[in-house]
Amino acid sequence: MTKVLVPFDFSEQAQNALDFTLAISEKLENARIVVLHVVEVPSSANLGTMGGGEMIPEMDNQIFFIELMDRRKKQFKELEEKYAASSFNLTTKITLGNAFSGIDDAINDEEPDLVIMGSKGTSGLEEILIGSNTEKVVRTAKCPVLTVKSKVDPVNFKKIVFASDFREDDSVLVSRIITLQKLFDADLYLVIVNTPSNFETTRESSMRIKTFVNHNKIENAVAEIYNSTSEEAGIVEFAEDIDADLIAMATHGHTGFIHLMTGSIAEDVVNHAKRPVMTFKISKK
């Protein structure tokens, strides 16, 4: 059984992620989908005003919250009924609290094999100051995370880009990459991005990819060396150049001070790529 967690906030991006999940679930054996909605609890501090500074009476806040909960429960019941006869099992879950914390708790409680979630991406000052819930999940989730920004049909996926420096050989990561390739019956493009600040010869890069392919017995793989100004820009540009269907990457999941100092290439790619991105946490040695 493959268990997939889908955070769902009733936005267009969340619907795209759910549609994507439903489509690939037809390819999975005994798939179980858990659709999660996190309702943020109202308080006078964060929900007490409307645009223009007008105060909302506390009683109106409570009424709004109760009506919202009833509406969400009804919507989720209709969703479960709609797919009751499907080949996959779909259940729903509503929790209260902060969106990221709710998703993080659900990952720990449900222990899914995969999280699929929508993302709008951010840029400029917003990206620097707050990032997004999707980026936080990518950084901290112990399971693979697949982000979807637009309406895409995974049935037609034929090109997967796996970007890495291929210096680490994680058996779990390799297994997931091969499983992903077989799921879509796709060609796998193994790419190293060469940058001015981290330059190496094509021969060195090519030999490392070749060793990775041979050691892990990977088939239908194409080795690519791509030059760009930064790793994240190169990954996005290469995927655009070959019209890839999916980008796959590994992440160390750094948090706190280390993350602020180093940033995260995977999060930047999730943020800026137009196509779906799947991230895998590298196992700690």
Residue 76 banded pLDDT, cuts 50, 70, 90: very high
- Same domain? For 103 and 161 the reply is no
Domain final position from 87, 121, 147:
147
pLDDT exceeds 70 at position 43: no
* 162-210 confidence digits (pLDDT tens): 999 888 777 888 888 999 999 899 999 999 999 998 889 999 999 999 9
Token pair for 159: 């090109």
In-domain check, residue 77: yes
Task: State the number of CA atoms in the 13 A half-sphere of 62 facing the CB.
Answer: 3
Query: Which H or E run includes 199?
Result: none
Looking at residue 42, its pLDDT comes to: 59
pLDDT exceeds 60 at position 61: yes
- Same domain? For 134 and 170 the reply is no
Residue 129 banded pLDDT, cuts 50, 70, 90: very low
Question: What CATH code is carried by the domain that includes residue 169?
Answer: 3.40.50.620
For the chain, what is the domain count? Answer: 2
More confident residue, 26 or 253: 26
Structural domain that includes position 225: 157-281
Query: Which H or E run includes 44?
Result: none
Looking at residue 66, its pLDDT comes to: 84
232 and 262 in contact (C-beta within 8 Å)? Answer: no
- Same domain? For 165 and 115 the reply is no
- Same domain? For 140 and 165 the reply is no
- Same domain? For 99 and 15 the reply is yes
pLDDT exceeds 80 at position 7: yes
Residues whose CB falls within 8 Å of the CB of residue 212, separated by 6 or more in sequence, listed in order:
166, 169, 190, 218
In the predicted model, what is the mean pLDDT of the chain? 84
In-domain check, residue 152: no
Spell out the alpha helix ranges (H) of the chain: 12-25, 58-82, 99-110, 124-129, 133-140, 171-184, 202-216, 231-241, 256-262, 265-272
Token pair for 133: 């819930």
Environment class of 17 (CB within 10 Å of its CB; exposed 0-12, middle 13-18, buried 19+): buried
Q: What are the CA-CA distances from residue 81 to residues 25, 90, 127 (Å)?
A: 17, 9, 38
pLDDT exceeds 80 at position 137: yes
Looking at residue 46, its pLDDT comes to: 47
Domain final position from 113, 147, 181:
147
pLDDT exceeds 70 at position 113: yes
- Same domain? For 128 and 171 the reply is no
Token pair for 266: 């995977």
More confident residue, 40 or 55: 40
Token pair for 107: 């990952």
